Amino acid sequence: MKGHQNLLEEQIQQEKRRAIAYEKSLKVKGVQERLDEIKMEFFKLVGSTNPQTRGFQLEK
């Protein structure tokens, strides 16, 4: 009986760890996507030929 109970408790703990890891991966993915967006905006601004517009956009 104890072996079965320990097995059930381990499965519950494993599910909790899996859920936490999934949430963490979603957060990391969201941060990475936002960083990619910022990087693309920066490269677009660096390539701009109008310094005044570029400076204004960088200040935003």
The model carries a pTM of 0.61
Over residues 13-41, the mean pLDDT reads 95
Predicted confidence at residue 1, as pLDDT, reads: 64
Q: Is the pLDDT assigned to residue 21 strictly greater than 70? A: yes
Of all residues in the chain, the percent with pLDDT exceeding 90 is 53
- Print the SS3 string covering 22-55: HHHHHHHHHHHHHHHHHHHHHHHHHCCCCHHHHH
User: Is the model's pLDDT at 25 over the cut of 90?
Assistant: yes
d(CA 4, CA 20): 25
So what's the pLDDT on residue 19? 95
Q: What is the mean pLDDT of the chain?
A: 89
